Amino acid sequence: MTMHYRGVHDMGGLPAGKVEAAEHDYALWEKRVDALLVLLSKKGHVTVDELRRNIETLGVEAYDSMSYYERWIYSISQTLIQRGIITIDELGRGIEKAQTHDQL
């Protein structure tokens, strides 16, 4: 007998309710995350497979509590750290700087 692992992201065949197909406006930060992903992809710093893998390794609680673009920015950050493009310290300083800038 083979055991199959189903990740929190894998909803194929499960009841999930109605999908809302309505258009909506994106927040500025969501547009920036999308643009960042496009630029990093074109430069060869992030692949779709890396993005997917890092999202799929999120735990249930983190996955369920994050929005779509929060998962993306988490995955982009993890990929850049894994590739050695940025360090955890650099990421922390960048987040701190952004939070300080938002408070001005």
> What 3 state SS string does the chain have?
CCCCCCCCCCCCCCCCCCCCCCCCCCCHHHHHHHHHHHHHHHCCCCCHHHHHHHHHCCCHHHHHHCCHHHHHHHHHHHHHHHCCCCCHHHHHHHHHHHHHHHHC
Can you give the pLDDT at residue 8?
Answer: 59
Architecture of the structural domain at 28-103: Orthogonal Bundle (1.10)
pTM of the model: 0.77
Q: Quick one: which of 68, 63, 73, 84 has its CA closest to 33?
A: 73
Can you give the pLDDT at residue 98?
Answer: 87
Q: Tokens in use for 89?
A: 């310290």
pLDDT tens across the length of the chain (104 residues): 555 555 555 554 566 677 677 778 999 999 999 999 999 999 999 999 999 999 999 988 999 899 999 999 999 999 999 999 999 999 999 999 988 877 65
